[in-house]
Amino acid sequence: MGVAPAGVDTPNTGHHHLLVDSKSLPAANQPMGGDVKHFGGGQTETELTLEPGTHTLQLILGDKNHVPHNPVVVSKKITITVK
């Protein structure tokens, strides 16, 4: 898969969405909402400010309309500790 900004209709591309402390993946057949951090410009890095404590992070690739790909393209969930 390649990375392209939201709204760009190029085969085999999408843009990242970051799930922070999410218990489950977003619905597979509708655009992802405000509960995920969107990287609609095609960004591949960011800086986060999180409260101290344990957090989970997971990436999911969305298509030009923010809808998860089918089959879903998702990273493993990682756990971090912010001090």
**What average pLDDT is seen over the chain?**
95
pLDDT for position 72:
95
pLDDT for position 59:
97
Residue 41 pLDDT class (50, 70, 90 cuts):
very high
> For residue 80, is pLDDT > 90?
yes
User: Kindly report the CA angle at 32 between 63 and 30, in degrees rounded to 5?
Assistant: 75
Total structural domains in the chain? 1
CA 77 centroid distance within chain? 11
> For residue 35, is pLDDT > 90?
no
Residue 28 pLDDT class (50, 70, 90 cuts):
confident
Q: Are strands 13-20 and 53-62 parallel, antiparallel or unpaired?
A: antiparallel
Report in angstroms the alpha-carbon separations of 47 from 10, 42, 43, 67, 70: 27, 15, 11, 24, 28
- Boundaries of domain holding 54: 1-83
pLDDT for position 6:
95
